[in-house]
Structure 1
Amino acid sequence: MGEQKSTWFQLPEVIRDLFSRFPLRTYSAHPLPAAATTETGTLLYLWQGRRSASDPSCNPACLKYQALLRFHDIRHAVRASNNHSSPSGSLPFLVPAASSRPSSPITASKIPKWITSQSKREEIVHPREEAYTALVDHDIRLAWLYFLYLDQDNFDQVAFPLYCASASSNVLVQKSLAWQLKSAARDELLKSAVLIDSDELYDRAATAFQALSTLLGNDDHFFGEASPGLFDASVFAYTHLLLDDNMNWASTVLADSLRQHGNLVGHRDRLLAKYFP
């Protein structure tokens, strides 16, 4: 006589009958960002801390594209957000107006191409631009990471309020976010060096500022262009935040290095006055 097998997953007949009458349904996921589908205008999601939507972003990666949209006179609204809401896991991302909305949000790396497709003027890529972009994206960016996240005074006075305190009122959550930010900055810096040397980072940034100052010369915009472009936005994203009194820097070593170059300060001041009045 065969032995009847039993299992913990066998259900009583009355339960099986219930599920056969009312089967479970799996709903499709909502597109990200869910709220954006109810709005018709172009939306830029970025880090904003406790700043108003009309202010420049507190994050250079976000400010770069916020400025570029304004440089090209593309109307948009700003929405404060965080990395968890981004389809790529990082900010910024853009949701175009309903009339030109693609199937998914546009992540940071694709924003310049989209802006060019919507703009009345073309972005010109200059022969030397790639080399100078490396100075901004590497030397200045790495010094910025140390300056903001690993300089303890600046972290306590600037980074913590912008990225931790603004994200949650829970002390444990704030501490967890603080640890994540410092750890991510440290890991990024260690990709380029065995040891993190603040003096070397600041020296390399100072050399980069000198090179950018020489490149700009007496022109209003980089590469002698009549209007600011992507490279101007990349530089402005750092120079503005370093010179912004509202950042309340505790240590000013990196900003002091920038202030030695009056034409870079003037470049920042002109763009701020015209595009973020």
Structure 2
Amino acid sequence: MSSQNPSAASTKSPGASGWLAIPAPLARLFKRFPLLTYPPNELPVRSPRVRDVAALYVFISDQDALNGLPSFNPSCLKWQTFLKLAGVAFRAIPSNNHASPTGALPFLIPPSSPNSFVSAKPIPSTKLEQYTAENGTRKISEISSLKLEAYEALLNHRIRNAWLYALYLSRPNSALLSHLYVAPVSTSRVVKTTVLYQLRHAAEEEILRSIGALVVNPERLYDGAKEAFEALSTVLGSGEWFFGASKPSLFDAAVFSYTHLLLDQGLRWEDRRLTEIVEEFSNLVEHRNRILQRYWG
């Protein structure tokens, strides 16, 4: 283009041609101060340097991530476990919602070649089931959606609402909430107080929206959770996996994400009502232990 522009042509140095030519004054400047190309910046310390396996970004402490332990967040643990059930190699990376492209955890960064110049696109949780189907090494049971619908509702509403109350709103569990979600954010007392208020307010709003009420009634929440766990116990029966499947499914991972965290002695629940409800159903406890031993080691 510049070769057709008289004004541009008049500024070229002798012998220069084409679009790579630069104005003579700049050419003289670059001769005195040669252009230096710096190498790319290093990745942050917490970013995986070896990307031969996928990176799953979840709520987890740095030490637990290094030790390959479960996340303390049910939504993250569900997908963490599902990837293990399917035999997908990955490493857990500590993160938070603010770092997520979708504003929520978990999300996954697929492995990439060291010679690749194209960054792998993050995969949100809504697409992890498809990613697992394409990259897993073990067969996962597929459950009919007609069977799943009612039982998924028990997990996503009754059990989740009771979980939100137990962790975020039950005062005896304040120390556990602070340890998991507040203390890692900041050492500032003002910031921690603000974060604690925001977490509790968001949990209360979600519960009220789910149950369509103006006030949270803890007893009703726990009663609803007990009915839900009883229904799950009934459908599991004496089988290893839900709905009589020969292999675990995503639903097994979803149930485990709650039962494991409620039974995990590493989490110091002071208000143990929800834990005691799960302990009433021995087959749910055995189901949790089965997944823990076979897939978490």
The one-letter amino acid of 1:143's match is A
Q: Which of 234, 238, 255 is the equivalent residue of 2:258?
A: 238
Q: Does 1:135 align with 2:154?
A: yes
Q: Which of 56, 60, 65 is the equivalent residue of 1:44?
A: 56
SS in 1 for 2:56: strand
Q: Does 1:106 align with 2:128?
A: no
Counterpart of 1:197 in structure 2 is 217
Counterpart of 1:67 in structure 2 is 81
Measured after TM superposition, the shift of residue 86 of structure 1 is 0.4
Counterpart of 1:5 in structure 2 is none
Measured after TM superposition, the shift of residue 38 of structure 1 is 6.7
Contact 2:141/2:248 (<8 A) preserved: no
State how far apart, in whole Å, the 1-side matches of 2:280 and 2:288 are: 13
The one-letter amino acid of 2:53's match is G
State how far apart, in whole Å, the 1-side matches of 2:97 and 2:85 are: 25
Q: Does 1:149 align with 2:168?
A: yes
Query: Unpaired runs of 5+ in structure 1?
Result: 1-29
Q: Does 1:267 align with 2:267?
A: no
Deviates more, 1:185-194 or 1:103-112: 103-112
State how far apart, in whole Å, the 1-side matches of 2:123 and 2:189 are: 33
Q: Does 1:87 align with 2:133?
A: no
TM-score, length-scaled by structure 2: 0.78
State how far apart, in whole Å, the 2-side matches of 1:236 and 1:51 are: 22
SS in 2 for 1:246: coil
Q: Which of 260, 267, 270 is the equivalent residue of 1:250?
A: 270
State how far apart, in whole Å, the 1-side matches of 2:232 and 2:243 are: 11
Pair member with larger Rg: 2
Counterpart of 1:118 in structure 2 is 135
C-alpha RMSD of matched pairs (Å): 2.3
State how far apart, in whole Å, the 2-side matches of 1:108 and 1:147 are: 25
1:32-73, Cα deviation, whole Å (9 max, x unpaired): x99468733200000013651111110000000000010011
State how far apart, in whole Å, the 1-side matches of 2:287 and 2:157 are: 21
SS in 1 for 2:266: helix
Contact 1:149/1:182 (<8 A) preserved: yes
State how far apart, in whole Å, the 1-side matches of 2:106 and 2:141 are: 20
State how far apart, in whole Å, the 1-side matches of 2:63 and 2:181 are: 12
State how far apart, in whole Å, the 2-side matches of 1:225 and 1:57 are: 26
Query: Unpaired runs of 5+ in structure 2?
Result: 1-40
Deviates more, 1:264-273 or 1:44-53: 44-53
Deviates more, 1:102-111 or 1:50-59: 102-111
Equivalences, count: 247
State how far apart, in whole Å, the 2-side matches of 1:243 and 1:275 are: 17
Contact 1:50/1:162 (<8 A) preserved: no
Counterpart of 2:185 in structure 1 is 167
Contact 1:96/1:102 (<8 A) preserved: no
| Identity score, percent | 39
SS in 2 for 1:88: coil
Deviates more, 1:114-123 or 1:240-249: 114-123
1:111-151, Cα deviation, whole Å (9 max, x unpaired): 11211121242541223112111111111001100010000
Q: Does 1:211 align with 2:228?
A: no
State how far apart, in whole Å, the 2-side matches of 1:224 and 1:159 are: 36
Counterpart of 2:194 in structure 1 is 176
State how far apart, in whole Å, the 2-side matches of 1:102 and 1:205 are: 43
The one-letter amino acid of 1:41's match is V
SS in 2 for 1:124: coil
Deviates more, 1:38-47 or 1:215-224: 38-47
Contact 1:36/1:95 (<8 A) preserved: no
Counterpart of 1:21 in structure 2 is none
Contact 2:109/2:120 (<8 A) preserved: no
Deviates more, 1:48-57 or 1:79-88: 48-57
